[in-house]
Amino acid sequence: MGGTFDPIHIGHLILGESAYEQFGLDRVLFMPSGNPPHKTKRHGASNSERAEMVRLAIGNNPHFELSLEEMHEQGYIYTKETLRRLRMRNPDTDYYFIMGADSLVTFHMWNGPQEICDQCVLVAAVRDQMAEKDLDEAIRSVRERFHADVRKLSSPNLDISSHTIRQWRSEGRSIRYYVTDPVVNYIYENGIYERL
């Protein structure tokens, strides 16, 4: 599961745990992006801070793992390239790529969508109030267009975003329970998101 994780929140963790259980995965790799191609540079946590927050958030789950595979500042890292490297190192491993429904809707505009579909199973979760029928339509479209194995993740849809958490923190509002306690403590101790 990739993302900026700025910061990682309980919604990310619930998606990872739900995918682990529903699809019988061996483990879930959380891959913070160093320089994601679809997002402009923003005011937030540094790469090392985001990686540390992921490490803190998943530390007590034995089947969650932090991967720095995509943590590169020198250029864009595309999902197709990450999957290519992972599969070269582990040719007998089946990979599942966990994404939000919003990403699935724009998937055809990604770099190398066919190559991604050829290398993994796509797992899509409802996000941000998207209707179930809209997710079903997005899944059908990607399956037909790319002959992809796309599976719907049965997981609670929590209306929570990293952007909202950053905003609340900058306004002095509580972020407790939206992120794990170790991450809350790390954010406060390091003054992260105090000013946006």
Say which range, 37-41, 59-63, 148-152, has the weakest mean pLDDT.
37-41
Q: Is the pLDDT of residue 75 over 70?
A: no
Domain 2-159 fold: Rossmann fold (3.40.50)
Q: Strand 150-153's sheet: what is its strand order?
A: 96-100, 121-125, 150-153
Instruction: Report which DSSP code applies to 26.
Output: S
* DSSP designation for 35: S
pLDDT digits (tens, 9 = 90+) for 17-48: 999 999 999 999 999 988 655 554 556 899 89
pLDDT at residue 76 in the model = 65
53, with CB counted inside 10 A (0-12, 13-18, 19+), is buried
CA–CA distance from 134 to each of 1, 81, 83, 107 (Å)?
A: 22, 29, 27, 14
pLDDT 10s digits, 86-139: 999 999 999 999 998 888 999 999 999 999 999 999 999 876 667 888 899 999
Which of 5, 1, 7 lies closest to 183, judged by CA? 7
| Annotated domain spans of the chain | 2-159
**How does pLDDT run across 41-51, given as a tens digit for each residue?**
556 899 899 99
